[in-house]
Amino acid sequence: MKISQDTESYENMRSTIGLLKLLSLGEEDIRKGNTHEQAQVFQIIEKLLSRRAGLSIE
């Protein structure tokens, strides 16, 4: 049996599958306790960005 679908529908389906995979991985991390406080995550991101820009933020 062959099923045909247009390119746009196929791309939408692939995007949806990708999002569901990310949600599944996120839920698994939460169950395992692999989480960080929002403020901590933003602090890490700011440090990484400042290093890229050659700035020194402590």
Domain count, the chain: 1
Q: Is residue 38 part of a domain?
A: yes
Q: Is residue 25 part of a domain?
A: yes
Whether the pTM exceeds 0.75: the reply is no
* Cβ–Cβ < 8 Å for 43, 57: no
Condensed to tens digits (0 to 9), the pLDDT of residues 5-56 reads 899 999 999 999 999 999 999 999 999 999 999 999 999 999 999 888 886 5
Q: Is residue 35 part of a domain?
A: yes
Q: Is residue 2 part of a domain?
A: no
Q: Is residue 58 part of a domain?
A: no
Residue span of the structural domain in which 19 resides: 7-53
